[in-house]
Amino acid sequence: MRSFKSSLFILVLHFLEGALNNSLIQLNNNGYEGIVIAIDPTVPEDEGLIQQIKDMVTEASPYLFEATEKRFYFKSVSILIPQNWKTKPDYVKPKLETYKNADVLVEPNQPGNEEPYTEQVGKCGDKGERIHFTPDFLAGKMLNQYGLQGRVFVHEWAHLRWGVFDEYNNDEKFYLLKNKPEAVRCSADITGKYEEVKCQGGSCVVGRPCSFDKVTGLYKEGCEFIPHKQQTVKTSIMFAQSIDSVVGFCTEKNHNKVAPNMQNQKCNLRSTWDVISDSEDFKKTTPMTTDPPNPTFSLLQIGQRIVCLVLDKSGSMANDDRLNRMNQAVKLFLLHTVEYGSWVGMVIFDSQAKVQSELKQITSNTDRDALIQSLPTVASGGTFICSGLRSAFTVIRKKYPTDGSDIVLLTDGEDNTISGCFNEVKESGVIIHTVALGLSAAEELEHLSQMTGGLQTYASDETQNNGLIDAFGALSSGNGAISQRSIQLESKGSTLENLQWMNGTVIVDSTVGKDTLFLITWTKKEPQIFLWDPSGTRQNGFVVDKATKLAYLQIPDIAKVGIWKYSLQASSQTLTLTVTSRASSATLPPITVTSRTNKDTGKFPSPMIVYANIRQGISQILRASVTAVIESASGKTVTLELLDNGAGADATKNDGVYSRYFTGYDTNGRYSVKIWALGGINTARQRAVFQANGAMYMSGWIENGEIKLNPPRPENNKTQNKQVCFSRTSLGGSFVASDVPSAPIPDLFPPCQITDLRAKIYGYSLINLTWTAPGDDYDHGQASKYIIRISTSILDLRDKFNDAVQVNTNDLIPKEANSEEIFVFKPENITFENVTDLFIAIQAVDKVNLESEISNIARVSLFIPSAPETPSPDDTSAPCPNVSINSTIPGIHILKIMWKWIGELQLTLA
């Protein structure tokens, strides 16, 4: 038995490898298996699209194989076909494949938004989230701009699988190298011309050769680097896979370390091949001696949703009103969360299982009510989870195969026999969502959701936190159209004394309002309930269920847009309020908030990262107020403000992904994560045409000496300043912490790495630095001091930071985390007589002398004009006002420059 459990534990660890984004990808004998490419339900039916996907992957596989020195290829791919497409004999039902764990998503065409890209929210080397393509791209309509689809897929695969970044820079196309402007590219041997490009309407023409900016030394705006179509260089795929000769990734030998691109900034100047070589995939493989076979494809079509509730009614469920709280939460699921057309069954269990309801299709409120009547009313007996799961398999198989079906498993009891049905679970193809209730829920419970790709959640006995209702409210299907999904607008609770009031507001925005449900629960006695719509009209007609201690009101048709107000009054009891809704229209995408952590399990003192992604269709929602509440097994809660500032835990500024480190561990065990997002007067909607991590849009080519330009790039990042007012709550699942020491918890958390250091030269000797302040513990609190070092060698600064020249920072006092830092200084002990570049990096130190990682390296380039001109009397080149200037450091010789009037000089970031 010991050997059997051990082998199952290894199996679980194997499934956990992709736990970050629930990917099913596995590497088997150099071949990637289990890749899921999903066609969005809103994409118009087109059977040719399926063949185009096959052609792309088939073309990509040998390209990947050669690019990785015969290490990797694409072995098997599942194509997920929407339910609303016509069924065909060769379409089979998915097992664990869902839109949630899809590795590639084919989204509807959007005018001016055809860029292939990959979501990346982690650091260098972290796996990405998902690749995005459009039908027009797959159909080959963007060949001149991006190159062959298979090559682009390999570019995006490197983002997704190995966490490398792009080697071009749309925001900073040129940099100075030895007093000469160069295009940002890798390798630097890629040849081309610098031409001024003028675009109007849908076409572009070449103007005159690019002109220089006399102050910066760089080319003026409008200049483009046009590469030759015929090249001899073989690198790099992360710069421009569209160049025919490019068949590999940049290595240490040909990597351009000084180019200011994301790869250098995020990966500490490492080449893409160096990062790939350090991956787990690379370490588990050796080069193949034979060519790989072509990929194989499975065509999977989403079917009707099949759900079986498996609910614990053991004796411990009588504690802390758990049985009734479970029934309240399940009632929300049956009243609103589960979609019309779904099939739902119910099994209850203690020491043995009992079928409460066979599968019943939800076609009316009557069907929902019949299932609600099946909820258990008495708690007794022991806990045998496997019996409940086996009964659920039987219930499902009476009508459908278990492949791709959902089981929602709730338990509060200890059960050390769960591993006895791990193999049955794996073979069933079912997806299990787990709800752990209270402190004693079985330790191995989460393995069931982790091995099947289900949602894992935890709810404490703190009723006011509304954890159980949130868990069941989060179980909307991810496979259907987004217009059908339940969206949670609010979830709050409070313990009231002496006829206190629980008052608040809920925003119903224009993207939601259909099937809006207000649900109120209490623990003792029905409260006073007042609800007013945006016009001030009181809403009556709440349905009261005194046995289950809840009341609900379903708003007919579409709820009025605006602010709804509520007031609840009670004494000596806990009340909760939950508001859910659906999209107001099938054609208007609703604002959604999806949230999660970077890991399912964490060992102290490794921090967790909490993410919240806020979108309306393809648009990003910026400047929202986003708060995470993390509740530990002890009942303690920590509140975090999540930020989209491109610093600390946040990978990219203004991309609609809000992030923060969590370091507030207080005990071992389960932690739940809940997100509140609020849009207001400063919140904006941004349509990002060109994403942060994707293949480069090539402006044109030089073929046989002739310049051939592509259509102009659509304008990027169109921010709509109209207010985006909304309210949302989202469950971020749960994670399990271990190795947390007993109180007092020691301070083992250093400041986080500074990733946005920038530098400029002012006048003829001052360097101005800006960055976002880290904290005492990652991005929380306040660091104690900064160590700033400078060098004329970028590699010496990176590899021998402690040997580089240190800047005097005695007057530099760190600000609170996430504040903007500005520091102006004069370098010492550096002479520019033979160099024109200076490199700068920072390290933060906390109160117990824990040091952060070295920051990204900033670079200042000194540009020497070819001839003097008459200076302007207004050109003072003064540094930023109201900042500290370190004036105690002696000046430096700057190439014996005679012209003291040189203005602001150019910065480029390494």
Q: Is 156 a catalytic residue?
A: yes
Coil, helix or strand at residue 7: helix
Name the residue among 132, 145, 140 with its Cα closest to residue 713: 145
DSSP string, 540-604: ---EEETTTTEEEEEPPSBPPSEEEEEEEEESSEEEEEEEEEEES-SSSPPEEEEEEES-SEEET
Contact indicator for 610, 659 with CB cutoff of 8 Å? yes
Contact indicator for 197, 224 with CB cutoff of 8 Å? yes
Contact indicator for 49, 81 with CB cutoff of 8 Å? no
Residue-wise over 517-553: b if at least 16 C-beta within 10 A, else e?
bbbbbbbeeebebebebeeeeebeebeeeeebbbbbb
State the burial class of residue 281 (Cβ atoms within 10 Å of its Cβ: 0-12, 13-18, 19+): middle
Coil, helix or strand at residue 466: coil
Q: What sign has the CA pseudo-torsion 648, 653, 654, 656?
A: negative
Contact indicator for 321, 523 with CB cutoff of 8 Å? yes
Give the CA count within 13 Å in the CB-facing half-sphere of 22: 21
Q: Please, which residues bridge with residue 192 across strands?
A: 227
Structure-block tokens of residue 47: 């059977």
Name the residue among 106, 159, 160 with its Cα closest to residue 137: 106
Contact indicator for 375, 308 with CB cutoff of 8 Å? no
**Which of 156, 182, 339, 444 does the annotation list as catalytic?**
156
Give the CA count within 13 Å in the CB-facing half-sphere of 906: 29
Strands 820-825 vs 884-886: parallel, antiparallel or unpaired: parallel
Residue type, 132: H
Residue 305, by phi and psi: left (phi above 0), alpha (psi -120 to 50) or beta? Answer: beta
Contact indicator for 88, 81 with CB cutoff of 8 Å? no
Contacts of 593 (CB under 8 A, 6+ apart): 612, 613, 614, 675, 677, 728, 729, 730
- Residue identified by tokens 């009614």 is 313
Answer whether the bond into residue 744 is a cis peptide, omega within 30°: yes
Q: Please, which residues bridge with residue 186 across strands?
A: none
Name the residue among 524, 518, 469 with its Cα closest to residue 497: 524
Contact indicator for 480, 41 with CB cutoff of 8 Å? yes
> Which H or E element spans position 316?
none
Contact indicator for 539, 530 with CB cutoff of 8 Å? no
Structure-block tokens of residue 893: 């010789």
- The C-alpha atoms of residue 14 and residue 17 are separated, in whole angstroms, by 6
End-to-end CA distance of the chain: 56
- Residue identified by tokens 């302007």 is 872
CA distances from 283 to 28, 151, 157, 286, 287 (A): 13, 24, 18, 8, 11
Q: Please, which residues bridge with residue 150 across strands?
A: none
Query: Vertex 893, ends 257 and 178: CA angle to 5°?
Result: 30
CA distances from 567 to 564, 575, 768 (A): 11, 11, 53
Query: Which residue numbers are catalytic?
Result: 156
